[in-house]
Amino acid sequence: MLSLTFKNLWARKWRSLMTAVAVIFGIALVAGTYVLTDTTNQAFDQIFNDSLAGTDVVVTAKSEVDQQDGSTPSFSAKVLKEVKGVDGVKQAAGSIFTQGAILDKDADSVGGGFAPQFIASTGPKIFDAVTYPEGHKPTGPHEATLDQAAADRAGLGIGDTIQLIGSGRAVPFKLVGITQLGGSSFGGTSIAAVQLPVAQALTDKRGQFDQISVAADSGVSPEELRDRIAKVVPKELRVETAQENADRNASEIKDSLQFLTIALLAFAAIALFVGSFVIFNVFSITVAQRTREFGMLRTLGASRRQILRTVLIEGLIIGLVGAILGIVVGFGLAAGLSAVLKAVGAELPANSLQLLPRTIIVSLIIGVGVTVVSSLIPAFRSTRVPPIAALAENLVVGGKNRVVIRTVIAVLLAALGLILIATALISGKDGGSGAAQIGGGAVCVLIAISIFAPKLVTPAARILGAPIEKLGGLTGRLARENAQRNPSRTAVTAAALMIGLALIAFVTIFASGLSSSVNKVIDDQLPGEITLQGTGGILPFPAGAIPVVQNVDGVEAASGVRFVSAKVDGKTAAISSVDPADIVKVYTVEWKEGSDSDLTGLKDGQLVIGDKLADDLGVGVGDSVTLTSQKGRKFKFKVSSIMKTDSISLAGEGIISQNSMARDFNQKSDAVGLVKLDPGADLDKTQTLIEDTLKAKDFPTVDVLNQGELKDQQKSQINGLLAMIYVLLALAVVVSLVGIVVTLILSIYERTRELGMLRAVGMSRRQVRRMVRYEAVITAVIGAVSGLIVGVVFAFLIGIPLSGDGFELSYPIGTLIVILILTALAGVIAAIYPARKAAKLDVLEAVSYE
């Protein structure tokens, strides 16, 4: 029996392979994701290990509150002396490693997209982890080195001038060395190194270190030295062995990459979910077509269990083949994904692609699991074929659907989904958890719709097929009848497409809602005309730029906003500080309790708190709260007033004075600048003037954007993300199109006789092709229309709780129509092969076919 299964599979190898395609894509994404993240993680492990060559113990400052840019606090250089005094220390040196900007002499960034740029200090030879393929270490205060990849990217070589920005103005340096760290690539990250005092000055960390590296005397273990040093340094410092430090850094990066893994796996799950519909359909059709064969096997004494087993083993083998091919494709996909990430400016470091056993095992389990589970229902249906089916002359293929059970399951699922959605809406849960609950409800409803779908196919085909019938006459009519004749088959095929399109419609609507919400925030909160930010919103905003802008002709007010992440009574929140003099000219606060005078008169030690945070903490005006800084210091603040905060509040969840920010949180750099022009000043001219003035004063990394450009920039970021999501959802759509192809081919095979008859009575090959094509289009359009409807409805439902967060939906009708048309075209493409196959049938053979 087992060999029979293999032979059957082999005889239907094309069908089986196409079925396997249903899992190949999903598995490829699973495997690709793992390969990509494993490769990245491995690269980071190596980078951190390489960079600590020669180092035994590392001293850094603890970070009590994680900052958005991932920076850690620096600490007093005095600690070095104490460290050097510890018994067993052979050598110790402080160093700087701080985010900044690296530019060529024309002030163009050397950087790769969104990846950060760092300014580092050089130190004693013993701690030098880098090699110099060209040039040498900086030997004077005007010399710098650059990592090989960045130099290659920017086309820089020894002797060229580069400009570095730590905090403040750009400073020119002569490039004297190209560095390489082990064999690792940093991805898009760039690192420039200068002498220690230079680095301290550049980054405004005079008398400070980001890190102290320690080498141990021989015979002293890193662990022992660590413990000794820990005894003499202040409590807020962390002392680790080099290994511990490398592991911690690597694992922090891994944690932050986790979201990428989860997001990619979510798309893999979608593709597999769609694939399971295709598999289900192929197995259902195959089982129906093999009714007589199963009946015959039963008359020969095959038990139900044997029949079940043959079908399940087929599923298992198809799943296995799909998973293996998926792993192979996934390996290539990982390379492709990292190319895509590089293209959108998020290049990840990579050495050689990592294929861990875990990747293979997980892929195999999922691939086989999904296929076998999807074939379960058809497999059980095959066991219900009675032996007498072998003798039946006219086989009713398809068999009885368990209408009652199906309806009950569908109703229960739909009810569950609706309850989930409704309770989320009624309980007024807003933000993430509400949306998650509604999303879960949506999945239930989606499956329920798929179960109900056969009932909807007939009316849907009638409505959507009407224009085609008009267009195509008899062939159109037959196409529609064919689409309708096996409603559950068409329904499952269309449902697979529906899922992908529902998601596409959903994210399209959401992204457009996000764009318009951002625009609204810009309109509502920024009364000024111009916004200043670090280049691309990626490079840090230089200190000292705001006063320069203030003095430009035509500028009425320019005000910087600084940010820090702090704990407010234990709850992490983004806190901003503003310049009280001008802030109300450039930033509009909606007050809950208080007025603009609370902002202009903001004193040190006072906090303007966001309403949401105030509610969470249960504090009101006059209460006092404790703010914890990154270094773990605690400060008392008095709530002076309460502002309304939308989901995107440009002032974070609290505002403190500029002084408090500098003194208590050591934040002296602005994150953005807001500018209001003199009434009557010409926008274009003033904007150009600001740009030129900033360049002239060595602030080349400031983007000067008017409101329109700011909106466009935000929109293009959202659209970049959207494009990436489209690409990933396209996988699911391709899987469902493969579903259309397979289903059509199987249906044609089933209708061989009928097609022969049609040809015998005079239908031309062209007409046959057209008939098949129309059927594909009808199926695709049913899927597309239902998908778009489902997507719109869900976007609407999920938008309700989010509207409390200032999110408003907008419906990009044009885009949705384009999607609909593209799907219909995809249907035509899906029909190419089946149509040709149908048209090629030999009339005589088709008629005499048994």
- Binding stretches for other proteins (CB under 8 A): 1, 3-4, 7-8, 10-11, 292-293, 296-304, 306, 386-388, 390-391, 850
Instruction: Report d(CA 715, CA 718) in Å as an integer.
Output: 5
**3 versus 218: smaller Cβ distance to other proteins:** 3
Which whole-number Å values give the CA distances from 139 to 54, 129, 195, in the listed order?
21, 17, 8
**344 versus 388: smaller Cβ distance to other proteins:** 388
Radius of gyration, alpha carbons of the chain: 33
**36 versus 379: smaller Cβ distance to other proteins:** 379
Structure token digits, residue 387:
């032996």
Buried b (16+ CB within 10 A) or exposed e, 187-203: bbbbbbbbbbebbbbbb
Instruction: Report d(CA 782, CA 463) in Å as an integer.
Output: 10
**387 versus 439: smaller Cβ distance to other proteins:** 387
Whether the CA torsion 392, 397, 400, 402 is positive or negative: it is: positive
Q: State the nearest-atom distance from the C-beta of 49 to other proteins, in Å.
A: 57
H helix intervals, 55-97? 79-84
Q: State the nearest-atom distance from the C-beta of 315 to other proteins, in Å.
A: 18
Instruction: Report d(CA 744, CA 749) in Å as an integer.
Output: 9
**9 versus 199: smaller Cβ distance to other proteins:** 9
Q: State the nearest-atom distance from the C-beta of 305 to other proteins, in Å.
A: 9
CB 94 within 8 A of CB 74: no
Q: State the nearest-atom distance from the C-beta of 15 to other proteins, in Å.
A: 13
Q: State the nearest-atom distance from the C-beta of 756 to other proteins, in Å.
A: 18
**388 versus 581: smaller Cβ distance to other proteins:** 388
Q: State the nearest-atom distance from the C-beta of 306 to other proteins, in Å.
A: 6
**385 versus 729: smaller Cβ distance to other proteins:** 385
Q: State the nearest-atom distance from the C-beta of 389 to other proteins, in Å.
A: 9
Instruction: Report d(CA 821, CA 785) in Å as an integer.
Output: 10
Grouping H, G, I as helix, E, B as strand and the rest as coil, residue 347 is coil
Instruction: Report d(CA 560, CA 546) in Å as an integer.
Output: 6
Q: State the nearest-atom distance from the C-beta of 781 to other proteins, in Å.
A: 37
Structure token digits, residue 511:
């992204």
**218 versus 394: smaller Cβ distance to other proteins:** 394
Q: State the nearest-atom distance from the C-beta of 765 to other proteins, in Å.
A: 25
**310 versus 482: smaller Cβ distance to other proteins:** 310
Whether the CA torsion 659, 663, 665, 668 is positive or negative: it is: positive
Q: State the nearest-atom distance from the C-beta of 745 to other proteins, in Å.
A: 18
**221 versus 303: smaller Cβ distance to other proteins:** 303
Alpha carbon 105 to chain centroid distance? 35
DSSP letter, residue 682: -
Q: State the nearest-atom distance from the C-beta of 813 to other proteins, in Å.
A: 53
Question: How open is the CA angle 440-441-442, to the nearest 5 degrees?
Answer: 90
Q: State the nearest-atom distance from the C-beta of 289 to other proteins, in Å.
A: 12
Q: State the nearest-atom distance from the C-beta of 302 to other proteins, in Å.
A: 5
Element (H, E) at 194: strand 190-194
- The torsion angles phi and psi of 35, rounded to 5 degrees, stand at -60, -45
**746 versus 784: smaller Cβ distance to other proteins:** 746
Nearby residues of 535 by Cβ (< 8 Å), 6 or more positions away: 101, 109, 701, 702, 703
Q: State the nearest-atom distance from the C-beta of 849 to other proteins, in Å.
A: 12
User: What is the CB neighbour count within 10 angstroms for residue 846?
Assistant: 19
Q: State the nearest-atom distance from the C-beta of 388 to other proteins, in Å.
A: 4
Among 222, 251, 256, residue whose Cα is nearest residue 239:
222
**383 versus 707: smaller Cβ distance to other proteins:** 383
**221 versus 299: smaller Cβ distance to other proteins:** 299
Grouping H, G, I as helix, E, B as strand and the rest as coil, residue 705 is strand
- Strand residue runs (E) in 298-457: none
Whether the CA torsion 436, 437, 438, 439 is positive or negative: it is: positive
**191 versus 302: smaller Cβ distance to other proteins:** 302
CB 847 within 8 A of CB 753: yes
**306 versus 713: smaller Cβ distance to other proteins:** 306
| Secondary structure (H, E, C), 726-779 | HHHHHHHHHHHHHHHHHHHHHHHHHCHHHHHHHHHCCCCHHHHHHHHHHHHHHH
Element (H, E) at 297: helix 291-299
Among 630, 660, 717, residue whose Cα is nearest residue 69:
630
